[in-house]
């Protein structure tokens, strides 16, 4: 099968499409025939060596939508099931940017019935990150939340999920994105000296975002071990996403209920993975790039 890997670190030019052995599922695992797999900033980080793994062949891709193709012993899934999953891992030999991927059975959820596989592939990593960050913030209905990067992939999900929790959601976005974020449930936009009960720093602004938290409030970032230190009694931490099929199933139900908006910026063939990485590096995307085998 074809798979996207890096064997040395660098820019988009180091991304390769290689022939790899078809992986076989073990106990409590499934093999998914990939229909679509989104490209995330973490893939660029892996590609450039941020997470280590020098000297190894590293497979790229965390998100997947596709069809169960084979099952191991004690799997809860059946061949033919249409699913989505998160394949967590920084330096794994194969990722979801491939024709087939093997994942643990408890990382899998039935795919949304209301969208195609390309859109479904944008859900797992970003939505699980958003809901995990909101859980860490632990704000109560009626409290105020600022989401930096509220028009981005994680930020957009966070705005929608926070509004459903009864929070007063503000966003830090470009002026041209205000109408879109308002459609997600954002009620106002940050400016001036206003502070908030909590800040979800999806744009990774660090100290700048921390300054927007009221004394005694809470800050949550999206990069593990990379959040600013506490000050003014503000609790600071960051979400570390993990594969969670049960939680993913809840998010799928929200998609089918029209409560979460999935956005695709563009699609690329697997053979054009390097070009997709170059487009990601250009920035300015609203929605995810998706690879289609």
107, exposed or middle or buried, with CB in 10 Å at 0-12, 13-18, 19+? buried
Residue 99 reports pLDDT greater than 70: yes
pLDDT at 192: 65
Q: What mean pLDDT comes out for the span 254-270?
A: 97
pLDDT at 227: 84
Residue 193 reports pLDDT greater than 80: no
Q: Do domains 2-123+262-292 and 126-238 have the same CATH topology?
A: no
Q: Give percent above pLDDT 90 in the chain.
A: 84
Residue 188 reports pLDDT greater than 80: no
pLDDT at 90: 84
Task: Quote the CA–CA distance of 117 and 83 in Å, as a whole number.
Answer: 9
Q: Residue ranges per domain, the chain?
A: 2-123+262-292, 126-238
Per-residue pLDDT tens digits for 207-218: 999 999 999 999
Lowest mean per-residue pLDDT among 110-114, 143-147, 148-152, 270-274 = 148-152
CATH classification number, 126-238, choose in 3.40.50.970, 3.40.50.360, 3.40.30.10, 3.40.50.720: 3.40.50.720
Count of other CB atoms within 10 angstroms of residue 33: 16
Task: Bin 55: left if φ > 0, else alpha if -120 < ψ < 50, else beta.
Answer: left
The model's pTM? 0.95
Q: What mean pLDDT comes out for the span 98-119?
A: 98
Residue 35 reports pLDDT greater than 90: yes
pLDDT at 178: 85
pLDDT at 279: 97
DSSP assignment of the chain equals -EEEEESS-SSGGGEEEEE-PPP---TTEEEEEEEEEEE-HHHHHHHHTTT--TTS-EE---EEEEEEEEE-TT-S--TT-EEEEE---SS-S--SSBSEEEEEGGGEEEPPSSS-HHHHTTSHHHHHHHHHHHHHH-PPTT-EEEEETTTSHHHHHHHHHHHHTT-EEEEE--GGGHHHHHHHT--EE--TT--EEEEEETT--THHHHTTEEEEEEEEESSTT-PPPP-TT-EEEE------HHHHHHHHHHHHTT-S---EEEEEEGGGHHHHHHHHHH---SSEEEEE-
Q: Give percent above pLDDT 70 in the chain.
A: 99
Q: Which CATH architecture has domain 2-123+262-292?
A: Alpha-Beta Complex (3.90)
């Amino acid at each position: 099968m074809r798979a996207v890997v890096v064997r040395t670190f660098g820019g988009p030019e180091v991304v390769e499409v290689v022939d790899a052995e078809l992986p076989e599922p073990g106990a409590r695992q499934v093999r998914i025939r990939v229909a679509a797999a989104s490209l995330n900033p973490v893939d660029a980080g892996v590609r450039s060596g941020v997470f280590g793994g020098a000297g190894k062949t590293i497979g790229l891709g965390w998100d997947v939508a596709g069809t169960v193709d084979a099952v191991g012993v004690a799997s809860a899934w059946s061949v033919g099931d249409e699913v989505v999953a998160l394949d967590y891992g920084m330096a794994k030999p194969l990722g979801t940017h491939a024709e087939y991927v093997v994942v643990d059975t408890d990382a899998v959820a039935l795919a949304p019935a209301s969208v195609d596989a390309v859109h479904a592939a944008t859900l797992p990593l970003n939505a699980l990150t958003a809901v995990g960050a909101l859980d860490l913030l632990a704000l109560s209905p009626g409290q105020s939340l600022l989401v930096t990067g509220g028009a981005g992939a994680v930020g957009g999900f966070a705005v929608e999920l926070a509004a459903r929790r009864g929070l007063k959601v503000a966003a830090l976005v470009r002026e041209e994105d205000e109408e879109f974020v308002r459609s997600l449930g954002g009620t106002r936009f940050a400016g001036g000296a206003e502070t908030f009960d909590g800040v979800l720093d999806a744009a990774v602004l660090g100290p700048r975002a921390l300054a927007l938290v009221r004394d005694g409030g809470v800050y949550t970032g999206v990069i593990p071990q990379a959040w600013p230190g506490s000050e003014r009694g503000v609790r600071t931490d960051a979400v570390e996403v993990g594969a969670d099929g049960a939680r993913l199933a809840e998010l799928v139900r929200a998609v089918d209920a029209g409560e979460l908006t999935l956005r695709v910026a563009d699609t690329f063939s697997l053979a054009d993975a390097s070009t997709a990485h170059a487009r990601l590096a250009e920035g300015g995307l609203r929605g995810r790039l998706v690879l289609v085998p």
